[in-house]
Amino acid sequence: MSRVDPTCPTDCLTVLPEVDFNLCTPDVNFGQIEYLFIRNIGSGGLADWSDLSEWNTYISNTSSSADAIRRLTVIGSKPAPEKPVVDLSLQRKYYLPKKHLLNIRLDETNLTNYDWLRQLECGGQYLIWWTAQKYMYGGDDGIEATLNFDLIIPESTEELMVFEGTAEWEYQFHPEAQLNIFA
């Protein structure tokens, strides 16, 4: 399978997409990214990201296989993406691909994780997926993102050392979502 993007209209008479609201039992969702999954870009995505057994085949934080998917326990957020815009004639606007960002914090700063952080400093792009409560994001193909993390050592002896970082990518659409198969 491959990325499934919305079909964009080609005229001004397209049917608006469906919506769903419920006055009696609204479906609300709370924040916080809990897990970040990382894979080498050369390994490709997944055949079916909704298949838990496929994930379990690849998820390993210790495997020496280049196909392994690392599962990081994190605290994270996804703010609104930047939306670069070009002004056109007749007060129209053309939007360039959005600049998406995840803000990620790791609170387990052991030496193994520290070596991981240092290795990321070589640069490169990775495939990522993440979970946030009852949903997960990324689709079969994952998201090609640049990762950048730093060690933060606070002055206070009552605060944790953390690795703070970002995952960044550009794309027109928000990533595909599905129910969290790890929940």
Of 162, 146, 155, the residue nearest 76 (C-alpha): 162
Residue 2 has pLDDT above 80, yes or no: no
Q: For residue 145, give the amino acid letter.
A: A
Q: Residue 171 — pLDDT band, cuts 50, 70, 90?
A: very high
Please indicate, yes or no, whether the overall pTM of this predicted structure exceeds 0.95. no
For residue 1, what pLDDT is reported? 52
Q: Show the DSSP H helices in the chain as ranges.
A: 52-58, 111-120
For residue 103, what pLDDT is reported? 98
Distance CA(126)–CA(182), nearest Å, equals 21
Q: Is 102 helix (H, G, I), strand (E, B) or coil?
A: strand
For residue 7, what pLDDT is reported? 84
Residue 74 has pLDDT above 60, yes or no: yes
Say if strands 98-106 and 69-77 run parallel, antiparallel, or are unpaired: antiparallel
| 178, 135 contact by CB (below 8 A) | yes
Taking residue 132's Cβ as centre, other Cβ atoms within 10 Å add up to 20
What does each C-alpha distance from 73 to 34, 81, 111, 166 come to in angstroms? 6, 23, 16, 14
| 48, 137 contact by CB (below 8 A) | no
Higher pLDDT, 14 or 22: 22
What are the residue boundaries of the structural domains of the chain, listed by start? 33-179
* Residue whose pair of structure tokens reads 């060690």 in the numeric block: 151
Distance CA(89)–CA(173), nearest Å, equals 24
Residue 104 has pLDDT above 70, yes or no: yes
Question: Of all residues in the chain, what percent are helix, strand and coil, respectively (each to 5)?
Answer: 15, 35, 50
Instruction: Provide the token pair at 105.
Output: 């914090």
Question: pLDDT tens, 37-61?
Answer: 999 999 999 999 999 999 999 999 9
**Size of the chain, expressed as the number of residues it contains:** 183
* Residue whose pair of structure tokens reads 């608006």 in the numeric block: 16
